[in-house]
């Protein structure tokens, strides 16, 4: 029996695509308005008819979006969108991810209640709708790729689009963090990923990228406004703000590593040691009863000392090891990370000087206090409660802004272009007069300095510092965040760090299999988008040289950027 190719299926059944997608969307909407189970405790009470709750809002949204996308080429007043955007490609992404998300959401009902018999009619209708939508989208013909870069609105409307987009990001992130059930969170995460993919295939992100270039300052201010307002959406929740603060620490550290790996192309597998060195400096110079140094300078001095000590470690490890490259460099840096951890274990007064209390670490680190503002106390702002982790979150927000500023300035400078030249072809860069060794050493020192700054705040937020916090796995996660998000980019690293810190916290029902899931995600990323979630144009060109249209577009954009510089 000869199997039919996808093109043959599209040619044969394309006429059924429109009614199938429309029927699937209607079934999804109908299923959203019906009960999914009899148990009120599952995912926010899915037992009420004509009153969507929890994940039912996702299927309702998927149905409405599917109807909107399938009608774009068929309605006169929407026909202009089809000339610049690609609704068919968006429907394919939406149909696939909606089906996967519905299956996982229904699994969240079946698994705790013990069987398919616990599904009410609404669940089956929603599943049928997702399946029909998926099948219809598979046989939908794809038109030629479109370009929305020339779509322009009035400046006020474009700024309004940015504000609305950032507002959705603010309340969406607050809603996602508020979900405690792992099955619900997983389904929601896949559905959100599907929406992002659908909007990307639709061409919206390409248009937003051009819009962002025209209003870069507005976008930057809106992004930091969203980050600043985030704690006010959490109703004083220390659990969620603890996760958010850890994400900022991880992001700041990953941004420093992005200089080493993303710009200079040097694989560092022991980078967590620089974060640990800053944390130990802050712990030793704190007023902790377990501190072994009787000197407590102001915290701003401690921050600088922590950054400088980390930078010195970067120079120490960099000077002898940067003469090697590739796998050998990775092995050497891996060894340095282990040396740091073992060294902190041995500085206990028995095997070495009494400096770190060995495996016990330094505990009872006091909270910071700036000009009478106690970071460990609860504060009321505009009638909203801000707890301890919210206080540290705001401080870390200032740090991440500084780290992003340093990275952006270096990336746009001659130093940044020198790092990129080394990453692309070290021999060619050396032949053109680039100081290879000096720039590599600078990358290690600057990256380590930024990680040290983050470590000084981390010590006070965590209250204690122990050697087992700085193991190789943490360095591997930092590298993975850069690769997953997009090497050499700012937004990509922030997204990658957020995903890798958020997933382990929310997927606890996988227990020890969380790393297996993480590995599968990375494998899928390397297969389908090796350049990362938010790819720099140069990295995108490296991985898609065979795509002549994309290569020509990227090369022209890079030429424009180089001319501007």
Residue-by-residue DSSP string for 351-385: SS-BSS-GGG-B--PPPPEETTEETTS-EEETTEE
Domain boundary pick from 468, 489, 510: 489
Rounded distance between C-alpha atoms, residue 300 and residue 320, angstroms: 31
Q: Are residues 200 and 322 in the same domain?
A: no
Contact 262, 422 (CB under 8 A): no
Q: Are residues 329 and 431 in the same domain?
A: yes
Helix (H) or strand (E) holding 419: helix 414-424
Q: Are residues 201 and 240 in the same domain?
A: no
Regarding pTM above 0.85, the answer is no
Domain assignment of residue 523, yes or no? no
Q: Are residues 244 and 301 in the same domain?
A: yes
Q: Which two tokens stand for residue 356?
A: 């770190």
C-alpha dihedral sign at 314, 315, 321, 322 = positive
Residue 377 Cα distances to 69, 245, 390, angstroms: 50, 16, 10
Pick the closest to residue 231 from 370, 457, 385, 462 (CA basis).
Answer: 385
Q: What is the pLDDT of residue 2?
A: 43
User: For 262, which DSSP code?
Assistant: I
Q: Are residues 241 and 329 in the same domain?
A: yes
Q: Domain limits at 31?
A: 6-161+179-207
Q: Are residues 195 and 139 in the same domain?
A: yes
Count of alpha carbons within 13 Å of 497, Cβ hemisphere only? 27
Domain assignment of residue 125, yes or no? yes
Q: What is the pLDDT of residue 552?
A: 54
Per-residue pLDDT of the chain (565 residues; tens, 9 = 90+): 344 555 666 667 777 888 999 999 999 999 999 999 988 888 878 888 888 888 899 899 999 999 998 888 777 656 666 677 788 888 988 999 999 999 999 988 888 888 888 899 999 999 999 999 999 988 888 766 666 666 777 778 888 888 888 888 888 888 877 787 777 888 888 888 888 888 888 877 777 777 777 777 888 888 888 888 888 887 767 888 888 899 999 999 999 999 998 888 888 888 999 999 999 999 999 888 888 888 889 999 999 999 999 999 998 888 877 777 777 888 888 888 899 999 998 888 787 788 888 888 899 899 998 877 888 888 887 777 788 888 999 999 999 999 999 998 998 889 988 988 888 888 888 888 888 888 989 999 999 999 999 999 999 999 999 998 898 888 888 888 888 888 888 888 888 888 888 777 776 666 566 667 777 777 877 777 777 777 666 666 665 555 555 555 555 555 445 545 4
Rounded distance between C-alpha atoms, residue 461 and residue 246, angstroms: 9
Q: Are residues 341 and 461 in the same domain?
A: yes
Q: Are residues 188 and 105 in the same domain?
A: yes
Contact 35, 133 (CB under 8 A): no
For residue 34, the domain's CATH number is: 1.20.1440
Q: Are residues 192 and 261 in the same domain?
A: no
Domain assignment of residue 537, yes or no? no
Contact 269, 334 (CB under 8 A): yes
Domain assignment of residue 377, yes or no? no
Domain boundary pick from 439, 462, 489: 489
Pick the closest to residue 207 from 169, 161, 259, 268 (CA basis).
Answer: 161
Q: Are residues 249 and 191 in the same domain?
A: no
512 burial (CB, 10 Å; 0-12 / 13-18 / 19+) is exposed
Domain assignment of residue 172, yes or no? no
Domain assignment of residue 546, yes or no? no
Rounded distance between C-alpha atoms, residue 146 and residue 73, angstroms: 14
Q: Are residues 28 and 105 in the same domain?
A: yes
441 burial (CB, 10 Å; 0-12 / 13-18 / 19+) is middle
Q: Are residues 294 and 352 in the same domain?
A: yes
Helix (H) or strand (E) holding 386: strand 384-386
Domain assignment of residue 497, yes or no? no
Contact 192, 58 (CB under 8 A): no
Domain boundary pick from 442, 459, 489: 489
Rounded distance between C-alpha atoms, residue 478 and residue 273, angstroms: 12
Give the count of domains, the chain.
Answer: 2
Domain assignment of residue 100, yes or no? yes
Rounded distance between C-alpha atoms, residue 167 and residue 230, angstroms: 10
């Amino acid at each position: 029996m000869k199997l039919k190719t996808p093109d043959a299926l599209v040619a044969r059944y394309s006429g059924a695509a429109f009614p199938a997608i429309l029927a699937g969307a209607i079934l999804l909407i109908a299923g959203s308005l019906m009960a999914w189970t009899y148990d009120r405790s599952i995912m926010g009470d899915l037992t009420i008819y004509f009153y969507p709750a929890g994940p039912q809002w996702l299927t309702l949204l998927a149905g409405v979006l599917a109807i909107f996308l399938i009608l774009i080429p068929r309605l006169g007043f929407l026909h202009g969108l089809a000339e610049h955007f690609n609704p068919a490609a968006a429907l394919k992404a939406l149909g696939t991810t909606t089906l996967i998300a519905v299956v996982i959401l229904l699994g969240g009902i079946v698994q705790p209640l013990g069987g398919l018999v616990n599904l009410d009619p609404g669940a089956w209708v929603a599943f049928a709708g997702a399946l029909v939508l998926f099948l219809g989208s598979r046989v939908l013909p794809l038109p030629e790729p479109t370009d929305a870069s020339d779509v322009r609105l009035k400046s006020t409307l474009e700024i309004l689009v940015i504000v609305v987009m950032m507002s959705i990001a603010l309340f969406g992130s607050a809603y996602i963090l508020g979900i405690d059930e792992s099955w619900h969170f997983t389904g929601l995460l896949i559905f959100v990923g599907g929406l992002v993919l659908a909007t990307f295939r639709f061409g919206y992100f390409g248009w937003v990228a051009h819009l962002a270039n025209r209003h870069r300052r507005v976008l930057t201010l809106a992004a930091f406004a969203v980050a600043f307002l985030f704690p006010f959406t959490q109703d004083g929740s220390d659990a969620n703000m603890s996760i958010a603060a850890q994400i900022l620490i991880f992001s700041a550290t990953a941004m420093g590593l992005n200089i080493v790996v993303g710009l200079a192309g040097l694989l560092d597998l022991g980078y967590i040691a620089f974060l640990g060195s800053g944390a130990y400096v802050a712990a030793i110079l704190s007023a902790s009863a377990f501190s072994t140094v009787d000197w407590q300078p102001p915290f701003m001095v401690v921050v600088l000392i922590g950054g400088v000590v980390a930078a010195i470690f970067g120079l120490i490890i960099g000077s002898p090891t940067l003469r090697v490259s590739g796998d050998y460099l990775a092995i050497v840096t891996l060894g340095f990370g282990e040396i740091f951890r073992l060294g902190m274990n041995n500085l206990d007064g028995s095997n070495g000087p009494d400096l770190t209390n060995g495996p016990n670490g330094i505990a009872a680190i006091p909270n910071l206090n700036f000009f009478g503002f106690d970071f460990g106390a609860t504060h009321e702002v505009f009638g909203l409660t801000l707890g301890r982790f919210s206080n540290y979150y705001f401080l870390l927000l200032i740090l991440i802004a500084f780290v992003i500023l340093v990275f952006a300035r270096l990336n746009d400078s001659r130093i940044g272009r020198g790092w990129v030249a080394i990453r692309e072809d070290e021999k060619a860069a050396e032949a053109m007069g680039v100081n290879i060794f000096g720039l590599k050493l600078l990358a290690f020192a600057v990256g380590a300095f930024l990680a040290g700054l983050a470590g000084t705040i981390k010590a006070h937020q965590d209250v204690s510092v122990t050697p087992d916090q700085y193991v190789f796995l943490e360095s591997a996660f930092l590298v993975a965040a850069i690769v997953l998000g997009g090497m050499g980019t700012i937004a990509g690293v922030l997204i990658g760090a957020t995903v890798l810190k958020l997933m382990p916290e929310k997927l606890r029902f996988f227990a020890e299999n969380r790393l297996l899931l993480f590995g599968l995600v990375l494998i899928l990323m390397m297969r389908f988008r090796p350049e990362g979630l938010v790819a720099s144009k140069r990295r995108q060109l490296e991985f898609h040289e065979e795509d002549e249209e994309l290569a020509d577009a990227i090369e022209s954009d890079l030429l424009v950027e180089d001319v501007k510089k």
